[in-house]
Amino acid sequence: MKLIITVFIMLYSLVSVTPPVYAEEPPPVIRGEGAYLIDVMSGQALFMKNPNTQLAPASTTKIMTALLAIEKGNFSDIVTVSSTMLNNKLVYGTAIYLEPGEKIGFEDLIYATLLNSANDAAVTLAEHIGGGDIPSFVEMMNQKALDIGATQTHFVNPSGLTEEGHVTTAHDLALIARAAYRNPMFAEYVRTKTHPISRSKENVPILMVNQNELLWKDPSINGIKLGYTQAAQNCFVASASKDGRQLIGVILKSPGKEIWTDMQAMFNYGFSQYKSTVFKSRGSVISSIIVNNEPVDLILDDPIYMTQKLNEPQASLNLRVTQDTNPLTSVEKGQVVGHVEILEGETLLNTLPLKTSRGVEEKSGIDSVGSSHLAWIIGSILTISFIALMVNSYQRRRRTRYWRRQVRRSTRRRNLSGNFDSHESRLK
């Protein structure tokens, strides 16, 4: 009986401490020439195929066009279509057939760009944001790509029509899509299925319909953009959400409609074979600074997430803190005074702000020299006072000894005088 109980306890212990084992699935077979799957929260890659091969992005270019318009535009603007619109080769293909001189709302242009993939709407946005100059807007696109980390991307136009040198990679496009999707307004646009827009030449609104087929079929899909040209073939950037996780997939230069099923297969792989955990929670202390000789913790305002493959040992991330080297005389609670870079090996995944955990007021008068200087001053005063006390004590002892000597001398003189008088009296 004891043996049975012992064996049962041993088996129970083994079961209770052994981590669950999940069924491992092979990576999906993607027929596009380039593919990438990224976790939005952690920035870590879950799957890739030819991630750094430069390919034409087609209308997925409009992700960057719309993102810049959202960041830099005024949503109350009424935009006048330029007189050269019909002569611009960049508006060929998919369009809502804007006419020169027509007035249209700024936000309606964004819906037309992202839902209907209208080239004329994208070009009109570029002219409006670029001050009437499309090359200036394209420069903004390329600078934004560099800021995001998409270093192998080069845009030539805002619509995505095929031009020499207009290229990206699956990796870069995933970074661009991730940056765009983290903008709440952009995310709202690309998850919208239909939206009516007003045209000044029409009496009735025109309905914009999202061309993302998976958005209509799969409830986990919530964006982003597809594209096609003869040179680029089928291109698709999609986002999906499940169990609190958000993934973005990219497929470039896919030969046919299998791009839909390939994207779903990639998402299924990411959700079933990986898990996300909190590496550092919100409010975690990452570093500290000294303000007026007082330590102040630098904390996270957002958690750091980590994604890892199931059934594999827990990996780790590297943190690199950057902060202003100029000394601060005061800070407010929640003030951003640095950033933390999250790296997987040498790959930069994310950059988050670091905020002060408490405030420190600027000191005035003697406090402005700092507590160390104040301590030095106090120490000096105490030292001088001690020396003065010792000198005073020494002088008092000298005066006391002097008066004692005077008293002794006076006493001896009196004694000598008394003895002399007594001797004289005996002689008489």
- Residues marked active site are found at 59, 62, 117
**Which of 48-85 are b and which e, b meaning 16 or more Cβ less than 10 Å from the residue's Cβ?**
bbbbeebbbbbbbbbbbbbbbbbeebeeeeebebbeeb
- What are the CA-CA distances from residue 228 to residues 117, 234, 254 (Å)? 10, 5, 10
The structure tokens listed for 382 are 């105490």
428 is in an annotated binding site: no
Nearest to 99, CA basis, from 87, 85, 113, 114: 85
Nearest to 237, CA basis, from 219, 251, 255: 251
Please say whether the beta carbons of 299 and 286 come within 8 A: yes
Parallel, antiparallel or unpaired: strands 233-242 and 245-254 = antiparallel
CA atoms within 13 A on the CB side of 417: 6
> What's the distance, CA 372 to chain centroid?
36
| Burial of residue 257 (number of CB atoms within 10 Å: 0-12, 13-18, 19+) | exposed
DSSP state of 85: G
Please say whether the beta carbons of 372 and 293 come within 8 A: yes
CA atoms within 13 A on the CB side of 238: 29
Q: Binding site, residues? A: 225
- Could you tell me which residues are annotated as the binding site for substrate? 225
